[in-house]
């Protein structure tokens, strides 16, 4: 496998041809005190720029765990991980925060918008963390909210928006720092079918515009519209194939 | 820092009510510590003033008996300094500011017009006035060297004795019968709050020249001596030196301290001072604890906020907030509640202390003893620093909890 050969190149500077995500033998063990749960048991995964990867698998198989590792929200118990050619192991907490800020955009099932502040301020947040000056911030946020079709809802609080609208705000927020990759963990899980299809359409549009996407989903119809389907069972990747070959 | 401020302004975390309660707790603690400290300061100053009212840099030496054998003489021999020897003794003690004899006649009939009072009549050398702070009310005077030299029949009265005898009338210039001998009143002592006394309080004694006293009562010896030095730190040496000179004159062992028992007021004022400082420190600690409780209140509420906002903190971390941007707003918040509360408390305490300074100490027995609370810069600085530290801690610990949140675990969707 080519990913094995990648290990020998780990000290070379990031080449433009390197994948955005490069995981080799990734393991994750949760130590809950009494029991140790091995959520990932050696995962190899490469994601190239411009891919739309759907991750599928039964509940508890380790999809979210994998997503958190990809997004540098959590650190692996073993294996090597490079994001944009940058070795993640050994980065400090603040460096990881910086990687999340610049390279990753998250979309969650539960939206996770901050309830007290407006849609505008929610989308602005990553730009604040990224040190973007206020003027640039304002223009960028306005553009993003227009792009997800919420140009007229900027001052609304999340509680004043529908589920689908909240997820659009979350997507705008994920795109704020022009990340290398957008990660979505069951983004339609909390939505009705119509809004779900609607949100999926937004993701497809993003993909067409050149974004790299990883989406966890239960919806096979949706997964089939991705460029690639990765199936996880019991902490291992059991199949990884282009979408048109999916069963 | 700009980011921290942005986040701080954006997240009005406490509801108004909780913020108010928190600020009130800190304000209350600040008022408590300031009042206690200023009360302690007032007490200290008042105690100092009161304990100096008997006189500064003085020692009192009583006449007693020898306790050591000396040149073939057995112990137990009484030592009585003669009034007439005092000028000689004084001339041998140039290091003293003054050496004063004090002879006391108890329960002597003093008659002014129809009124007779049994009073205490002291005969003293004239420097007693300065040494024992017998300051005359305007219009009168204390004994002069001439009074003493000419054995004049003049008398100086303690303020309460004067009132007993003359009521509201001005006693100065009036005639007073002392054991049926006519005396002229030359002065009345200014009122003072006296702490520490021997042979009664000054306010109800009366004083005549020691020469006159000797002639009137026919006793040639003093009850005690009053020693005054220029520099309080020399008191111990002065007492020893005085004992030596008297021992040489009257023939006893100069190391026999109990022959002339002595009260070193410099020493006891020092002890008083230490006790006052101790009281103040104690009050300060109580105040600081009250404030600390306020600080714990702030920290507690902030902990609750951190807990409530765990998910929000996780989201911010996911979006790339560095640890400092998570903790910063909490520290700022804890600090700002503390400082706002502290400022309010300082204002309230200052107003209270100012208000109390209008209560007169004169004529109020409690206030005469306790004094009025006094705010001072050191007290303010001490309180402000305690506030600052408590504020920082009140924000720091909850903030640390916030920074230790694991975003992955927080954002897990169950
Ligand atoms: N923070 C955690 N502590 C302990 N166990 C965890 C934690 N997160 C996930 N797990 C366990 O790891 C396994 C994988 O979970 P997860 O990645 O959430 O699966 P999925 O997203 O595919 O449903 C499960 O058995 C889950 O209980
Ligand atoms: Mg999951």
Could you tell me if B359 and B225 lie in one domain?
no
Could you tell me if B75 and B204 lie in one domain?
yes
Average pLDDT over residues B327-339: 86
pLDDT tens string B154-198? 999 999 999 999 999 999 999 999 999 999 999 999 999 888 889
CA A130 to the chain's CA centroid: 18
Average pLDDT over residues B331-355: 89
Which residue among B214, B235, B265 closes a domain?
Answer: B265
Amino acid B194: pLDDT:
87
- Say yes or no: A82 contacts chain B, CB-CB below 8 A: no
Could you tell me if B278 and B202 lie in one domain?
no
Residue B401 corresponds to which tokens in the numbers above? Answer: 């909890």
Question: What is the extent of the structural domain holding B373?
Answer: 2-52+269-412
pLDDT tens string B124-142? 999 999 999 999 999 999 9
**Domain total for chain B?**
2
- Say yes or no: B271 contacts chain A, CB-CB below 8 A: no
Ligand found nearest the CA of A65: 1
Amino acid B208: pLDDT:
98
pLDDT lower than 70: segments of chain A: 1-17, 245-247
Amino acid A59: pLDDT:
93
CB–CB contact B318 A73 (8 Å)? yes
Could you tell me if B190 and B299 lie in one domain?
no
Which residue among B230, B265, B300 closes a domain?
Answer: B265
pLDDT tens string B196-210? 889 899 999 999 999
Could you tell me if B243 and B284 lie in one domain?
no
Indicate if ligand 1 lies below 6 Å from the C-beta of A64: yes
Residue B169 corresponds to which tokens in the numbers above? Answer: 């009338």
| Spatial distance between the Cα atoms of B94 and A101, rounded to a whole number of angstroms | 87
| Shortest Cα distance, chain A CAs vs residue B35, angstroms | 41
- Say yes or no: A126 contacts chain B, CB-CB below 8 A: yes
Sheet holding A21-31, edge to edge: A36-47, A21-31, A78-83, A86-87
Indicate if ligand 1 lies below 6 Å from the C-beta of A150: no
User: Does B413 have pLDDT greater than 80?
Assistant: no
A60 Cα: distance to centroid of ligand 1 (angstroms):
6
Could you tell me if B166 and B85 lie in one domain?
yes
Most confident of A162-171, B301-310, B392-401: A162-171
Nearest CA to ligand 1 atom 25: A60
Could you tell me if B203 and B145 lie in one domain?
yes
Q: How far is CA B308 from CA A105, B124, B142, B234, in A?
A: 25, 80, 78, 68
In contact, B227 and B261? CB cutoff 8 Å: no
Superfamily grouping for domain A50-72+90-246: P-loop containing nucleotide triphosphate hydrolases (3.40.50.300)
- Say yes or no: A110 contacts chain B, CB-CB below 8 A: yes
Helix (H) or strand (E) holding A106: strand A104-107
| Spatial distance between the Cα atoms of A215 and B70, rounded to a whole number of angstroms | 111
Q: Residue A189's closest CA among A6, A59, A79, A67?
A: A59
- In the three-class reduction of DSSP (H, G, I as helix; E, B as strand; rest coil), residue B205 is classed as strand
A186 Cα: distance to centroid of ligand 2 (angstroms):
7
A-proximal residues of B, 189-208, CB under 8 Å: none
Q: Report ipTM for this prediction.
A: 0.89
Amino acid B362: pLDDT:
66
Could you tell me if B314 and B261 lie in one domain?
no
Could you tell me if B47 and B63 lie in one domain?
no
A-proximal residues of B, 286-325, CB under 8 Å: 311-312, 314-325
Length of chain B: 414
| Spatial distance between the Cα atoms of B241 and B225, rounded to a whole number of angstroms | 14
Could you tell me if B314 and B228 lie in one domain?
no
In which band, very low, low, confident or very high, does the pLDDT at B72 lie, cut at 50, 70 and 90?
very high
Which residue among B202, B237, B265 closes a domain?
Answer: B265
Could you tell me if B202 and B295 lie in one domain?
no
Q: What is the DSSP letter of B104?
A: E
Indicate if ligand 1 lies below 6 Å from the C-beta of A217: no
Q: Give the start-to-end residue ranges of the domains of chain A.
A: 50-72+90-246
Amino acid B13: pLDDT:
52
CB–CB contact A125 B317 (8 Å)? no
Averaged pLDDT of chain B: 90
User: Does B113 have pLDDT greater than 60?
Assistant: yes
pLDDT tens string B376-390? 888 888 888 888 888
The closest-lying atom of ligand 1 relative to the alpha carbon of residue A65 is 17
Amino acid A83: pLDDT:
95
Q: Residue B334's closest CA among B260, B389, B410?
A: B389
Alpha carbon distance, N-terminus to C-terminus of chain A: 24
Could you tell me if B133 and B218 lie in one domain?
yes
User: Does B340 have pLDDT greater than 80?
Assistant: yes
Amino acid B394: pLDDT:
86
Amino acid A12: pLDDT:
40
CB–CB contact A108 B413 (8 Å)? yes
């Amino acid at each position: 496998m080519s990913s094995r050969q990648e290990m020998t190149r780990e000290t070379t500077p990031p080449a433009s041809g390197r994948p955005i995500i490069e995981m080799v033998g990734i393991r994750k063990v949760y130590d809950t005190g009494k029991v140790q749960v091995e959520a990932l048991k050696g995962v190899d995964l490469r994601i190239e720029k411009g891919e739309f990867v759907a991750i599928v698998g039964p509940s508890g198989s380790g999809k979210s765990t994998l997503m958190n590792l990809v997004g540098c929200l959590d650190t692996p118990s073993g294996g090597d991980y490079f994001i944009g050619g940058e070795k993640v192991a050994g980065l400090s907490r603040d460096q990881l925060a910086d990687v999340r800020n610049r390279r990753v955009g998250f979309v969650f099932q539960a939206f996770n918008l901050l309830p007290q502040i407006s849609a505008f301020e929610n989308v602005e947040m990553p730009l604040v963390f990224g040190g973007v000056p206020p003027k640039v911030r304002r223009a960028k946020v306005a553009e993003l909210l227009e792009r997800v079709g919420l140009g007229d809802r900027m001052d609304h609080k999340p509680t004043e928006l529908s589920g689908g609208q909240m997820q659009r705000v979350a997507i705008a927020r994920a795109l704020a720092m022009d990340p290398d990759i957008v990660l979505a963990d069951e983004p339609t899980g909390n939505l009705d079918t119509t809004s779900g299809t609607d949100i999926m359409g937004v993701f497809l549009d993003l993909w067409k515009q050149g974004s790299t996407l990883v989406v966890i989903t239960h919806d096979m119809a949706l997964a089939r519209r991705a460029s690639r389907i990765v199936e996880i069972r019991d902490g291992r990747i059991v199949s990884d194939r282009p979408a048109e070959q999916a069963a | 820092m700009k980011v921290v401020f942005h986040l701080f302004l954006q997240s009005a975390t406490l509801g108004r009510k909780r913020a108010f309660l928190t600020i009130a707790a800190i304000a209350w603690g600040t008022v408590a510590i300031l009042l206690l400290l200023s009360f302690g300061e007032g007490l200290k100053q008042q105690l100092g003033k009161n304990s100096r009212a008997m006189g500064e840099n003085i020692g009192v030496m009583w006449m007693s008996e020898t306790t050591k054998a000396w040149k073939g003489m057995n112990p137990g021999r009484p030592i009585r300094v003669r009034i007439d020897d005092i000028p000689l003794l004084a001339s041998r003690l140039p290091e003293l500011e003054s050496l004063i004899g004090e002879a006391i006649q108890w329960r002597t009939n003093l008659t002014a017009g129809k009124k007779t009072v049994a009073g205490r009549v002291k005969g003293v050398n004239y420097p007693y006035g300065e040494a024992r702070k017998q300051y005359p009310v305007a219009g009168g005077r204390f004994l002069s060297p001439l009074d003493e030299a000419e054995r004049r029949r003049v008398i100086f009265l303690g303020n309460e004795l004067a009132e007993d005898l003359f009521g509201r009338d001005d006693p100065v210039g009036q005639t007073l019968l002392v054991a049926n001998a006519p005396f002229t009143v030359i002065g009345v002592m200014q009122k003072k709050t006296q702490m520490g006394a021997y042979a009664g309080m000054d306010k109800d004694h009366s004083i005549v020249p020691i020469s006159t006293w000797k002639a009137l009562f026919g006793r040639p010896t003093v009850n005690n001596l009053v020693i005054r030095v220029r520099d309080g730190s020399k008191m111990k040496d002065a007492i020893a030196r005085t004992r030596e000179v008297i021992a040489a004159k009257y023939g006893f062992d100069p190391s026999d301290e109990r022959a002339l028992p002595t009260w070193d007021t410099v020493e006891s004022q020092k002890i008083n001072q230490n006790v006052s400082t101790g009281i103040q420190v104690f009050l300060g600690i109580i105040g600081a604890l009250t404030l600390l409780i306020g600080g714990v209140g702030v920290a507690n509420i902030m902990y609750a906020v951190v807990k409530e906002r765990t998910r929000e903190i996780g989201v911010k971390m996911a979006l790339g907030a560095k640890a400092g941007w998570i903790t910063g707003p909490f520290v700022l918040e804890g600090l700002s509640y503390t400082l706002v509360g502290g400022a309010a408390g300082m204002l309230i305490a200052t107003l209270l202390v100012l208000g109390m300074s209008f209560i007169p100490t004169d004529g109020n027995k409690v206030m005469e003893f306790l004094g009025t609370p006094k705010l001072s810069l050191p007290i303010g600085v001490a309180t402000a620093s305690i506030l600052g530290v408590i504020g920082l801690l009140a924000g720091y610990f909850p903030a640390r909890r916030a920074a230790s949140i694991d975003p992955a675990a927080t954002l897990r969707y169950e």
